[in-house]
């Protein structure tokens, strides 16, 4: 097996060809190759996101992307890849803390209405009003009456947004129970990520089935044609990030969309539209 020496290569293509030819002989080569391919494709897709953002700004569109999912399913990491090269003047990330005392006595949607995108703006919701559909009832943060009221009102709320011209993209990041535990362990062992491990995370494994029940209820009662749920198989973080970006890009006919060499075909094994005929979803 030939030993890798970076100084032997004068061009990136030469290094790539070497790794491609020798990946079966050394697991490290294969890992480096996969990382290179991921970063290369990500950069192409991020370039398309810049085109999309320019189009949203020019056409005065309002786009809200909701990132929901199990704890440690990769929502935050995916949002970071979305926003990495975007113009912060026409893009925001919304990650709200628990409601204040004043907000607790307001209509539930009030605190989210003021965060909705303005004309020409793209907004990423790192968790959203759907806290009341899953986390709050499971953890006892809302009453049964509050939960039922939300489930009745949310589709009407989203339909009004849709009719007023706001594009709502609802993403659910799905991981297996084993993968979630592995990521929890990683957070606890990494001092830079320990802040991510919350009291809700601590109950994630213990209350797995309770979460599954409410997730299925949420899909059944809030999936519709104007704001459908898109399920992202997020066990592989890198693949989930790429395919989520591809899915969002696929929804708009923005300027420059077909002038790039980026692969815009979405993998149906990773991105799936929820459908009601599913009998049981362990998401």
User: 231-243 pLDDT, tens per residue?
Assistant: 999 999 999 999 9
Number of domains in the chain: 1
pLDDT tens digits for range 186-205: 888 888 888 878 878 878 89
Q: Is residue 5 part of a domain?
A: no
The residue with greater pLDDT, 53 or 192, is: 53
Residue that the structure tokens 């939960």 belong to: 147
On whether residue 46 sits in a domain, the answer given is: yes
Range of the domain at 105: 10-273
How does pLDDT run across 60-78, given as a tens digit for each residue?
999 999 999 999 999 999 9
User: pTM of the prediction?
Assistant: 0.88
Burial of 72 (0-12, 13-18, 19+ CB in 10 A): buried
pLDDT at 58: 97
CATH number at residue 196: 3.40.50.300
Whose CA is closest to 128, among 150, 105, 156? 150
- Residue 239 domain flag: yes
Q: Starting at the earlier edge strand, list the strands of the sheet with 229-233.
A: 91-94, 121-126, 62-69, 166-174, 229-233, 271-273
Which residue's entry shows tokens 């995916």?
78
**Is 234 within the bounds of a domain?**
yes
């Amino acid at each position: 097996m030939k030993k890798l020496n970076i100084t032997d290569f004068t061009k990136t293509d030469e290094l790539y060809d070497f790794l491609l030819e020798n990946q079966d002989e050394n697991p490290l080569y294969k890992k480096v190759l996969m990382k290179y391919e991921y970063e290369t494709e990500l950069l192409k897709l991020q370039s398309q996101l810049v085109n999309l953002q320019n189009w949203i700004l020019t056409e005065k569109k309002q786009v809200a992307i909701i990132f929901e999912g199990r704890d440690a399913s990769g929502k935050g990491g995916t949002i970071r890849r979305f926003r990495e090269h975007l113009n912060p003047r026409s893009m925001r990330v919304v990650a709200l803390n628990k409601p204040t005392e004043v907000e607790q006595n307001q209509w539930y949607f009030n605190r989210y209405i003021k965060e909705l995108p303005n004309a020409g703006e793209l907004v990423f919701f790192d968790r959203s009003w759907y806290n009341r559909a899953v986390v709050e009832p499971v953890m006892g943060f809302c009453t049964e009456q509050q939960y039922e009221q939300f489930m009745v009102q949310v589709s009407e709320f989203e339909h009004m947004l849709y009719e007023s011209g706001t594009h709502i993209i609802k993403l659910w990041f799905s991981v297996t129970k084993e993968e979630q535990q592995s990521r929890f362990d990683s957070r606890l062992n990494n001092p830079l990520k320990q802040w991510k491990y919350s009291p809700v995370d601590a109950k994630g494994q213990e209350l797995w089935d309770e979460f599954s029940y409410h997730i299925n209820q949420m899909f059944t009662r809030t999936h519709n044609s104007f704001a459908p749920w898109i399920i992202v198989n997020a066990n592989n973080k890198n693949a989930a990030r790429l395919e989520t970006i591809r899915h969002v890009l696929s929804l708009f006919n923005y300027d420059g969309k077909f002038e790039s060499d980026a692969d815009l075909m979405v993998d149906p094994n990773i991105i799936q539209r929820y459908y009601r005929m599913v009998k049981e979803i362990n998401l």
